[in-house]
Amino acid sequence: MNALAHRRFLKMHGAGNAIVVLDLRGSALKVGAAEARAIALHPRSTFDQLMVIHDARVAGTDAVLRIYNTDGSESGACGNGTRCVAYAMLDDPAMARPAESGRLTLETRAGLIGVKRISERSFTVDMGRPKLAWDEIPLAEPFQDTRRIELQIGPIDDPVLHSPGVVSMGNPHAIFFVERDPDGYDLARIGPMLENHPIFPERANISLAQVTGPDRIKLRVWERGAGLTLACGTAACAAMVAASRLRMIGRGATVSLPGGDLVIEWRADDHVLMTGPVALEWEDTLAPEIFAGLD
């Protein structure tokens, strides 16, 4: 029997982003790519991102996070999932450890991420500094100005989408600004082509963004390794940064996604803060049949 069988998990969402939180602290257990894919396929544990909590390795931090997409690939950061982890670590009876301040510092592949409680079911995540240089995002070839790069889909003289801004918020993002409603585009068809475009050596999250006011953005996201999603926190951060760099908005905005709103602030110290809700749907244990054939 797979060692992960019968491990307890929380099924949650952050602004509609489907999240599973799995606490492996106090054990040597790890999740592999095949196990993550298997967990995602089960109807009780399906997710956009699987947030796996491990024991902290760095003094002064609270835990290590490993983040998996539905295809088993790992993600550097997930703001919506990080808020869910904060709820689990602060409030869930089986996972909570004493933390009087309501603050956590978590180790991720993208670096240290700080989280603080705003209200019972709302948290702010410090997503760190955006990476804007072409080789940090990364892109496959140099672009001195990443506010808009040469990339389009559709006929040369009448492209469907063109000239995205590119940003890394721990994951690479391409943001196409559109004048009409993002719901009017077939992102389920366009997204996979752009995600896997050769210009993105690590693939990319693909967003359609419409600036609807001086501090409002409407956003739809095709998420790398997960597909169409109701919300993507790093995409919301990337879209706000990209719009601000083009002087379409200031340094803060409410980003509206199909699953709900996220409030994004790009502070003067270059850190991007994301504030949003979490919701607990249910708790369960990983059924042994999930892992049939993997051992």
What does the alpha-carbon distance between residue 94 and residue 10 come to, in Å, rounded to a whole number? 10
CA distance 267 to 73: 31
Distance of CA 255 to the CA centre of its chain: 14
In residues, how long is the chain?
295
CA 181 to chain centre: 23
Q: Which tokens in the block code for residue 86?
A: 């904060």
Provide the 10 A C-beta neighbour count for residue 38. Answer: 22
Distance in angstroms (rounded) separating the CA atoms of residues 295 and 291:
8
**Is 78 among the residues known to form the active site?**
yes
> Which of these is catalytic: 106, 161, 166, 232?
232
Name the CA radius of gyration of the chain, rounded: 19
Annotation marks residue 237 as catalytic: no
* Cα angle, residue 252 at apex, residues 251 and 256 outer, rounded to 5°: 140
Strand-pairing partners, residue 65, are: 53
Catalytic residue among 77, 78, 241, 253: 78
Catalytic residue positions? Answer: 78, 232
